[in-house]
């Protein structure tokens, strides 16, 4: 299963399904046509990090961001009724129809039969029922009022993810504390490519283990001590994705670890900017399905950079 399937988003990254909140280019330079290369604006770590984090927060708090999650329901084989009435298999938020419809899971496919008069839409068009796809693209997302829901697949399990633009978590969001930006945590390391294609076993909050493509190992030093992290990479991606834990998870950062992107190496060198370490979706919602750090990616040091723990998570 690819990264995107674990986090629905080209979105491992931040929040909104399409953009995934990937970190922006590390050196954005909107140069006018008469600007000489030597006049390019110098890299400002503080400003770049703040701008990156503002974009991350904008994605997280968007109507389709992770803060809008209000439900995750796993389908059983056969019929699954859903709506706000308590006798449904899947109970939807108050204010929705008592019976919205029936999801039928059969042979790995899911079809939806709406109740008469329920104004469902798919891709902005009225939807009267039929087979459902498995993506967050407009063509597969169903809408009912402020709710949006769609089918996801995690291994052999099929679920229904539900988002609400009026979700309390979104309305009550109060920002994410961070450590001060520090050049000491923008670390240059080296990339040791794997000699043969390999899979990295990655545990998930669902209790499963997923096999992801891992191109090699990132080796870096902090205070003279050497550390190693195994990234994963999707085919065609121009970045490594790193799922890591560290000793701050016990007290100051999210207990299950954090995420980080890094640009692909140049001349064997790679930059790990831990100022951009960020919390996974599970730090904000119990309805997310996140990967966890593999054992070798649990660093025995305190990475006092990036995002801290959010609320009581």
pLDDT at 313: 54
How far is residue 90's CA from residue 179's CA, in Å, rounded to a whole number? 40
How far is residue 240's CA from residue 273's CA, in Å, rounded to a whole number? 12
How far is residue 175's CA from residue 150's CA, in Å, rounded to a whole number? 27
How far is residue 111's CA from residue 131's CA, in Å, rounded to a whole number? 4
Class of domain 67-171: mainly beta
pLDDT at 192: 97
pLDDT at 90: 96
DSSP structure string for 69-135: EEEEEEPPSEEEEEESSTTSSEEPPTTS-S--EEEEEETTEEEEEEPTT---EETTEE---EE--SS
Positive or negative: CA dihedral 136, 141, 143, 148: negative
- The closest alpha carbon to 244, from 197, 184, 306, 172, belongs to 306
66-88: b (≥16 Cβ within 10 Å) or e: bbbbbbbbebeeeebbbbeeeeb
| Secondary element (H or E) of residue 3 | helix 3-7
pLDDT at 41: 67
Q: Cβ–Cβ contacts within 10 Å for residue 26, how many?
A: 14
Residue ranges covered by each domain of the chain = 3-19+44-61+174-297, 67-171
Averages of pLDDT over runs of 10 residues in the chain (313 residues) are 43 38 32 41 90 96 94 96 97 94 95 96 93 84 95 91 95 95 97 94 92 96 97 91 97 97 96 98 92 97 97 65
How far is residue 246's CA from residue 219's CA, in Å, rounded to a whole number? 15
Provide the 3-class DSSP secondary structure of residue 240: strand
Task: Report yes or no: 285 and 67 within 8 Å, Cβ to Cβ.
Answer: yes
pLDDT at 29: 28
Task: Report yes or no: 189 and 272 within 8 Å, Cβ to Cβ.
Answer: yes
pLDDT at 223: 95
pLDDT at 312: 66
């Amino acid at each position: 299963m690819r990264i995107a399937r674990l986090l629905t988003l080209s979105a491992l990254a931040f929040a909104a399904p399409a953009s995934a909140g990937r970190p922006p280019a590390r050196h954005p330079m909107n140069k006018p046509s008469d600007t000489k290369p030597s006049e390019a604006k110098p890299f400002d770590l503080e400003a770049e990090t703040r701008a990156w984090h503002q974009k991350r927060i904008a994605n997280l708090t968007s109507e389709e961001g992770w803060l809008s999650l209000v439900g995750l329901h796993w389908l059983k084989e056969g019929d699954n009724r859903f709506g706000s009435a308590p006798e449904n298999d899947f109970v939807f938020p108050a204010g929705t129809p008592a019976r919205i419809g029936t999801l039928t899971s059969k042979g790995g496919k899911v079809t939806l039969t709406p109740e008469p008069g329920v104004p469902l839409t798919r891709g902005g068009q009225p939807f009267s029922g039929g087979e459902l796809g498995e993506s967050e693209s407009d063509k597969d997302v169903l809408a009912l009022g402020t709710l949006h829901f769609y089918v996801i697949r995690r291994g052999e399990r099929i679920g229904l993810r539900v988002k609400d633009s009026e979700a309390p978590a979104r309305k009550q969001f109060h920002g994410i504390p961070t450590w001060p930006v520090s050049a000491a945590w923008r670390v240059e390391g080296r990339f040791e490519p794997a000699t043969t294609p390999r899979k990295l076993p990655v545990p998930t909050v669902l209790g499963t283990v997923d096999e992801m493509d891992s191109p090699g190992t990132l080796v870096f030093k902090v205070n003279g001590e050497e550390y190693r992290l195994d990234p994963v990479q999707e085919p065609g991606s121009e970045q490594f994705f790193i799922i890591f834990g560290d000793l701050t998870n016990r007290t100051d950062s999210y207990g299950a670890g954090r995420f980080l992107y890094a640009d692909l190496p140049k001349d064997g060198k790679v930059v790990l900017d831990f100022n951009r370490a960020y919390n996974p979706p599970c730090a904000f919602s119990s309805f997310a399905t996140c990967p966890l750090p593999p054992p070798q990616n649990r660093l025995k040091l305190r990475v006092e950079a990036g995002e801290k723990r959010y609320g009581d998570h």
